[in-house]
Amino acid sequence: MGSASKSGRDHKHSEPDEAFNELLKPVYKGKELTDKIDTVEDKWNLLPAFLKVKGLVKQHLDSFNYFVDRDLKKIIQANQLILSDIVPDFYLKYTDIRVGHKSNASPDAPIEVLLPPHECRLRDITYSAPIYVDVEYTRGKKIIMHRDLEIGRMPIMLRSNKCILNGKSEEVMASLNECPLDPGGYFIVNGTEKVILVQEQLSKNRIIVESDEKKNIVQASVTSSTHERKSKTYVVTKNGKIYLKHNSISEEVPIVIALKAAGIISDLEILQLICGSNQKYQDIFAINFEEPLVKHNIHTQKEALLFIGERVKTIRRFGAPKLSKLEEGIEAVANTVVAHITCEDGNDLKEKGLYLAIMARRVVMAIENPKMVDDIDYVGNKRLELAGQLMSLLFEDLFKKFNSEFKMNIDKTLKKPNRANEFDALLTINVYSSHISHGLERAISTGNWSLKRFKMERAGVTHVLSRLSYISALGMMTRISSQFEKSRKVSGPRALQPSQFGMLCTADTPEGEACGLVKNLALMTHITTDDEEAPIRQICYNLGVEDIRFVDFSSIHVAKSYTVHLNGTIIGLTKFPGNFMKLFRFLRRSGKISPFISVFANSYQSAIHIATDGGRICRPLIIVENGISRVKEEHLRKLKLGEWGFDDFLKNGLVEYMDVNEENDSYIALYEPNIEKTTTHLEIEPFTVLGAVAGLIPYPHHNQSPRNTYQCAMGKQAIGAIAYNQFKRIDTLLYLMCYPQQPMVKTKTIELIDYDKLPAGQNATVAVMSYSGYDIEDALVLNKSSLDRGFGRCQVLKKHTEVLKKYPNHTKDIVSGMKVDAETGEPIWQHESLGPDGLGEVGLKVDSGQVYINKCIPVNAGDSMLGNNPNMPNYGMGNHRETPVYYRAPEPSYIDQVMMSTSSNDQSLIKVLLRQTRRPELGDKFSSRHGQKGVCGIIVNQEDLPFNDNGISPDIIMNPHGFPSRMTVGKMIELISGKAGVLNGSLEYGTCFGGSKLEDMSKILVDKGFNYSGKDMLYSGITGECLQAYIFFGPIYYQKLKHMVLDKMHARARGPRAVLTRQPTEGRSRDGGLRLGEMERDCVIAYGASQLLLERLMLSSDAFDVDVCNQCGLMGFHGWCNNCKTSEKVIGMKIPYAAKLLFQELISMNIAPKLRLGDVF
Amino acid sequence: MSLFVPEEEEVSQNSNEDGPRIVKPEDPIVEEIPLYLNHMTDSEHDICLFQYISQLSSKPLTNNKGIQIPACRVKPESQMVEIDVPLDTARFFDKQKSDEWSTMTSETYGGNLLDSRGTYIMGIQSNPITGKREIVLTPINKTAQIRPVFHHIDTHNEVSKDGEVIGTTVQEAPKKAPAKNNVQVVQMTAKNIGSENEIRYSEAIQSFKKFQSEDFVESTWFDESDENSTKLKEKLYGDEELKSKVLEVTESEKDYINKLLNDKLVLR
């Protein structure tokens, strides 16, 4: 029971979060506690309560907490002993492990981290805490206990329970330069923020039945995964017969032989197990009895084991004992096939046989009815792998390596015949402690997860946390990446699955190759961590399940009797499935077992499945009993008063978590009035089908669905506020909006994720009309005065890092001061923005070509230290060469911050942050929240723009052609709601499946003297005349996207060329040329402009003068043919340098290309 | 034709363990039967339940059905039992095959003894005095599913293959007394295990090796009609002392549930 109650307790201790407390205050959003509580409306308050305990990135934090608190201990236990091959008495035993705490530390002592997270970011250090172990070992004859031995450092996930920010108030956060709204859930490794993305996988240790109807193949497979190994076992059909297939068995084993090997010897029992009394199944299966008997003459278990043992591919590890064929067979059946079920008794392999028989039965069922296969895209068949699980795999691998190296060292020392003093194992252990720290650090910083024991190499596990905007960071934390190959053209895994409802966001997925493979979590989800199996198994027996070990096989597939499976493995039989599930759920609802354990029945398989494994997505639902919702008015009142939290709802059995499988087995009402007699659950809030990013869209239910998907991609590119500590950060690239505004039309999601506190956009007054002709193809017309007032203005901050190196000969890099003009005494132009210390002065402008770090490196850095004594008189400034850092950009920048510090390897680190303030210009990209992007086509003076009766002119004019094909009705409603809100002085809501009603908004407009439809009469700014049509006019929230002309504009007349080919370089960053590509070339050819072709492809590119000898056809040099030893027939001509290069390369390969020249005219 | 032994009704036992009582609409009490718990297992007895999987319940292995068990063996360490059951050579008997397998007179049944916590023998009887029914529960320590084993075929194979027998896999004698040469092999194996890489064998192989090295211990089979059996039967139904202690519910439902739930940690 320990596990279950523990996770319950964890929730209670969750940090007091100011942000959410506001929602629980007596008066919130104009609603008071004394207001009437309407259960239909107010049950949504469960959502903020859920997020208060769970948070948006709780899945990462839970998983990491589980790893450091429990998984580590399990790993230590599994790899507890180190023994020596040399001295049999020697042992070293790990007894405990802790992260960040010494054994004597009080529970509320601060975690031992070196530096607070923000300092780690600034100084390029890893945010980590020490890993302490307690060991017990022998020294001579004595047994010594040693506590708090550090074996390495563990990178700490921010906001986890090992992070110093855990449970801290906003004030403390501020003092640590942390943003209280930052969700955490990432690591800081060498100063960069790294996220371990959630990985989606097919569930482990479950039978999956697939069929290929064309090839007439049915197969049941199970991927067994234990701490030690991973392998896949198949039960397949071949020519109508069923075989067992496994990688380590060289040929397919007839299923009957496999079952006999596992101790199910009699044919009667095999038939009973697989077919039951079903005549059709018996007919399908009967053929399988023939081959073992006739071809292989196998009757007994021993014969069958020998049969398998002879076919095992033995990969003998060093030192492993040699086994007889019979033993090989036992080993294969007991430990290799379906490896996650371990048979500890080699004489009793029936459990394994039972599992194989169930696999075979599923195959038989699928042969009889091809619909009885599993859907591998069904979310219930998927598991999500989180940071904690990945870290645990990695740590175990590193720990094993650490132990084996340590053991080898011990053996080496013990082997020496006469040791001077008594051997103390711990003296050498510190040597290896860096292996664990570095291993963890390297994996997180490169994203390469290589696990020796599974022979697994996975790249791209971690990503740099995108800090483009608050939403992009948040979006990254909820992202799920699939293991599927992106290049494969498959539709199944990419399609929207009905089982995704409420678990994975239906809108948020990228376009293009990763479409449908990268997903996002919905707003109200939880990902389970592993729970103990054994207590649940015992509970099942206590609830009347018959132990499968004592069940007569003939009674397994009897009508009305259900098999009970725990995490895919059969444990028993019950004749009262309904009653059993009722009781089991009762225990869960009353908090006796973990709320995340799911139970559901599969009537096709006559099976009850109980799942306790980690990685299942689940979400809370309100329990409905006898057609009445269990959440009543009084409960919601308690919630409002703050007496109850979300966990009280859970504990009192009003709300429960459902995973996808169990959800599939229940009848869920969307709204309370829809509840029927058979309803089992009620949604808390339908808008939670969307995730955090899609939740920003107002009225998304009125939009065409791809538009919402487009917005999800664009919302992450919007420039806005990043965090409260944004001005303290020194990031490689940071975009900040100068005057961000919260949207006029909000959603409940926006409030829940605090987007209103860190917004990315501004409320622009939009007129939907045509203007000037510079608004085609979605281009926008911007009001110049609005830009003057700060609309769309943003700052771009770029970091430059410089390290002052130290060299082996005791010389080091230095920063020298500015150079001064001899006459005036003023600094020279290049050094104008430098201070006396040789670093740029904060606040000064740097133009292109000016220096902002005047670094000098020693001339003799490579010399040996013997010849160059630093005490020698000429040692000093004269020995350094200037290598200044120049600023190169079309627009000047200002120096925003200069930081000097030392990094982890003791070298000086200089970081300079350069700032540019940009106002929108032609070509900058904007978008509304409805997937409607456009670039600025023209900037118009305010006096020329249309205006209304109140003299208001628009900030943006949008072309009405943007609407018909896009069908973004939500945008229109946003405008009306926004306009009503402006007139009314209120913020309106555009929450999905709800929000402010259009009728109400129109009412406000009419009351304030406007047209109900949001249209206004405008006057032309140019003629002053009234426009001929009423114009749809009002505020729409616009985002400025990161794509700006300044970063993209590029032109070149002359410039650098590549060394090898002498052709112009490629790309803006290298000041490259603009390519006249193949298709352009074809056009020029078709047009017949041969001279243009010659000019573009050769003269302006890599024209080269060569001397060709018309006698031998080879190239000469300086009018001389070295081949013919004459200058007689050498002719000069122009060819592309690339052609010349090709000729030379061919010559080097013993192919002589010869040129025969003739006169054209 | 059904392949199956007809179901035995065991419904009543199940409903005993309902545990928490949630919404039970109509469930009137029909009869109250006193329960007694027999603590025999705490004393000298090890009560094992043998499930004869392939045996018809209409044909028990008892003397009065004309079956006399010639031998019964146990490997106490490996928790293995074997029973020899005489063959009915009169009907459906292939004399030729039997001769091939060196004259069969009995077939062997065997099984593994597995810990069976929480299983009880239930004796229902009517009280001789009151005439009312009463139930005596006796906990069972071990359960074994008894299936036919075909040692004769394996032995036959080994004899015919002769030299091809691999390694230490000389099978223990299927018939009565263990032969001498077996002992030798066993000892060799034991030495091998002791000296070198004992730890490296997987648990399955270890237990298999242990099983091989262990000798069967002959034990005595008492028929149902035997005096000893009757005595034991009486014991199972409980004596006067037991009958004075009717099992009563002392705990509240809630405590009972908690006990059920917390019990399991100890069990593990």
Give mean pLDDT in consecutive 10-residue pieces for chain A, a chain of 1161 residues.
41 48 55 59 76 81 91 88 80 88 77 85 91 86 85 91 88 92 92 92 89 85 84 89 90 90 86 88 89 83 88 69 79 85 79 90 90 89 90 90 85 74 71 84 90 81 91 91 73 87 93 89 90 87 85 84 91 89 88 89 90 91 89 83 85 90 91 89 90 94 95 93 92 94 93 92 95 93 95 94 86 85 85 89 92 88 57 56 89 93 84 94 95 94 94 95 94 95 94 92 95 94 93 95 91 92 92 92 95 93 92 89 88 93 95 88 74
Choose among B147, B197, B208: nearest Cβ to A330: B208
Taking an 8 Å cut-off on Cβ atoms, the answer to whether B145 and A327 are in contact is no
- Cα distance between residue A72 and residue A66, in whole Å: 9
- Closest residue to A542, CB basis, from B116, B145, B260: B260
* Chain B residues inside the 8 Å CB shell of A543: 17, 19
**Closest Cα in chain A, distance from residue B77 (Å):** 12
A575 vs B168: CB contact, 8 Å cut-off?
no
Q: Tell me which chain B residues have a C-beta less than 8 angstroms from the C-beta of A271.
A: 3
In tens, the pLDDT along A990-1031 reads 999 988 999 999 999 999 999 999 999 999 999 999 999 999
Residues 83-122 of B with CB under 8 A from A: 112, 114, 116, 118-119
Residue type, B119: T
Pick from A277, A541, A544: which is nearest to B2 by CB? A277
The whole-number pLDDT of residue A873 equals: 47
Per-residue pLDDT at A227: 78
Domains annotated for chain A, with CATH where assigned, are 2-54+526-531+582-689 (no CATH), 59-201+384-453 (no CATH), 227-372 (3.90.1110.10), 694-793+921-1040 (2.40.270.10), 806-917 (2.40.50.150), 1075-1148 (3.90.1800.10)
Single out the residue of A685, A684, A630 nearest to residue A653, CA to CA: A630
CB nearest to A542's CB, from B17, B202, B206: B17
Spell out which residues of chain B touch residue A552, defining contact as CB-CB under 8 Å: 5, 51, 53, 145
Token pair in block for residue A224: 């067994």
What the block records as the tokens of A365 is: 């069922």
Distance from CA of A664 to the nearest CA of B (A): 24
Interface membership of A354 toward B (CB under 8 Å): no
Query: Hey, is the C-beta of A583 within 8 angstroms of any chain B C-beta?
Result: yes
Question: Does the beta-carbon distance from A535 to B268 stay under 8 Å?
Answer: yes
Per the CB < 8 A criterion, the answer to whether A974 and A743 are in contact is no
Average pLDDT, chain A: 87
Checking if the pLDDT of B5 tops 60, the result is no
Q: What are residue A539's phi and psi, to 5 degrees?
A: -60, -40
Which residue of chain A is at minimal alpha-carbon distance from B203?
A344
- Which A residues 4-23 touch B at CB under 8 Å? none
A543–B19 C-beta distance less than 8 A: yes
**A558 and chain B in contact, CB less than 8 A:** yes
Chain A residue with CA closest to B212: the answer is: A347
Domain ranges of chain B: 29-163+216-245
Residues of B in contact with A549 (CB under 8 A): 114, 116, 143, 145
Contact assessment for residue A819 and residue A831, using Cβ atoms and an 8 Å cutoff: yes
Min distance B131 CA to chain A CA atoms (Å): 30
Whether residue A388 contacts residue A305, with contact meaning beta carbons closer than 8 Å, is answered with no
Distance CA A350, CA B143 (A): 14
Residues found in chain A: 1161
Chain A residues whose beta carbon lies within 8 Å of the beta carbon of residue B207? 344-347
Q: Give the residue from B54, B159, B208, B254 with the most A CB atoms within 10 Å of its CB, the best one to mutate.
A: B208
Chain A hits for B78, CB-CB cut-off 8 Å, are 347
What ipTM, to 2 d.p.? 0.76
- For residue A26, what pLDDT is reported? 53
- Contact assessment for residue A901 and residue A867, using Cβ atoms and an 8 Å cutoff: no
What count of other Cβ atoms lies within 10 Å of the Cβ of residue A664? 15
In this predicted structure, the answer to whether residue B42 has a pLDDT above a threshold of 70 is no
User: Residue A389 in 3-state DSSP?
Assistant: helix
The residues, any chain, with a CB within 8 Å of residue A1112's CB and separated by 6 or more, are A1121, A1123, A1124, A1154
Q: Any chain B CB within 8 A of the CB of A326?
A: yes
- Report yes or no: A195 and A469 within 8 Å, Cβ to Cβ: no
The C-alpha of A590 sits at a distance from chain B's nearest C-alpha, in angstroms, of 11
- Phi, psi dihedral angles at A922 (to 5 degrees): -55, 130
Which residue in A277, A331, A348 is closest to B205 by CB distance? A331
Name the residue of chain B whose CA is nearest to A558's CA.
Answer: B7
- Could you tell me the pLDDT band of residue B137, with boundaries at 50, 70 and 90? confident
Contact yes or no for A189/A141 (Cβ under 8 A):
no
Q: Which residues contact A155 (CB under 8 A, 6 or more apart)?
A: A126, A127, A128, A187, A188, A189, A440, A441, A444
Interface residue B200 vs chain A (CB under 8 A): yes
Is B51 an 8 Å CB contact of chain A? yes
- Does A878 lie at the interface with B, CB-CB under 8 angstroms? no
Angle at A392 between CA A390 and CA A395, to 5 degrees: 110
- Of B20, B112, B200, which has the smallest distance from its Cβ to A348's Cβ? B112
Assess contact for A540 and A625: CB atoms under 8 A. Answer: no
Residues of A designated catalytic: 625
CB pairs under 8 A between A and B: 172
* Residue numbers in A near B4 (CB within 8 A): 272, 277, 554-555, 558
Q: What are phi and psi of A762, to 5 degrees?
A: -140, 150
On whether any CB of chain A is under 8 Å from the CB of B9, the answer is no
Is B5 close to A534, i.e. CB distance below 8 A? no
User: A534 contacts in B (CB within 8 Å)?
Assistant: 264, 267-268
What six digits make up the tokens of A363? 């195959």
What is the amino acid identity at position A1083? C
Say which residue the tokens 């509970």 belong to. Answer: A539
Q: Which residues between 77 and 116 in chain A have a beta carbon less than 8 angstroms from any beta carbon of chain B?
A: 83
Contact A575 B169 (CB under 8 A): no
Assess B8–A contact: CB distance below 8 Å, yes or no. Answer: no
- Say which of B203, B204, B261 has its CB closest to residue A539: B261
User: Which of B145, B198, B258 should one mutate to test binding to chain A, selecting the residue with the greatest count of A CBs within 10 A?
Assistant: B145
Main-chain dihedrals φ then ψ at residue A20, nearest 5 degrees = -85, -25
* Chain B: residue whose CA lies nearest to A579: B18
Residues 592-651 of A with CB under 8 A from B: 592-593
Q: Do A538 and B166 touch (CB under 8 A)?
A: no
Residue A323 touches chain B, beta carbons under 8 Å: yes
pLDDT band at B217; cut points 50, 70, 90: confident
Q: CA–CA separation, A761 vs A745, rounded Å?
A: 12
